[in-house]
Structure 1
């Protein structure tokens, strides 16, 4: 698991003083940077080196987040397929899980314009960062933001 600390900026806050839900995709992407570095340590985005595309994201907003308190973004792998893998994310503030989500990334050849199998070396590296998949079917009913 990787951990990244994000400090909410003034511009991340809505009129009610909450962290706006629109910033979570950006924060979770920041949390994926260590995963990206497993594929390209210097984050070289040239098509010969970079082989990742984002094909799906989802978020469960469990509790409100506020300004003036750092947020820990936890990032881990939950599933590895033939040419794709799923990244789990959690946003924690003041010791509470506030948002959880996941992203599916595909190993992609930009020249051929198609998905290609994950190399065994990358697959092994990803396995070292695996945690169990989160269960998004049961929401926390004690949360004021429960769906």
Structure 2
């Protein structure tokens, strides 16, 4: 499991004084950087050969400005050409959001998905969440 911390910023609030719902997927993406480094340790974005097929976010509780948010991230499932990443966000010890992202291993030169290479599968398995 990976952990990332975010300090909500004033401009991330909405008209109701809560953190805007569009911010959480951005935090989740930033929290996936360690997973991206499995595919390209140097974070060469041109070498990052995965794409997003699906994003789900469940907003469990209100998120407020002024209190740090901690996001836990790991691997939920590994398939032949895709893998699912899970996220859970906490503020002041309370679960405030959770979600998942389906990434597909993608060959940009062929413009199609392909099988995940075994070394990448093995690296992802190290972060697989126990059921």
Name the counterpart of 1:26: 26
Structure 1 position 42, deviation (Å): 1.1
* Alignment match, 1:64: 62
Alpha-carbon offset, residue 50 of structure 1 = 2.1
| Aligned-residue offset at 1:124 | 0.6
Deviation of residue 31 (structure 1)? 0.7
Separation in 1, partners of 2:68, 2:31: 14
SS class of match (2:122): helix
Counterpart of 2:118 in structure 1 is 120
User: Unaligned regions of 5+ residues in structure 1, if any?
Assistant: 134-147
Q: Which residue of 1 aligns with 2:35?
A: 35
Question: In structure 2, what is the Cα distance between the partners aligned to 1:50 and 1:62?
Answer: 31
Partner Cα separation in structure 1 for residue 68 and residue 130 of structure 2: 25
More strand by share: 2
- Give 1:136's aligned residue: none
2:7 counterpart of 1:4: no
Match of 1:102 among 89, 100, 103: 100
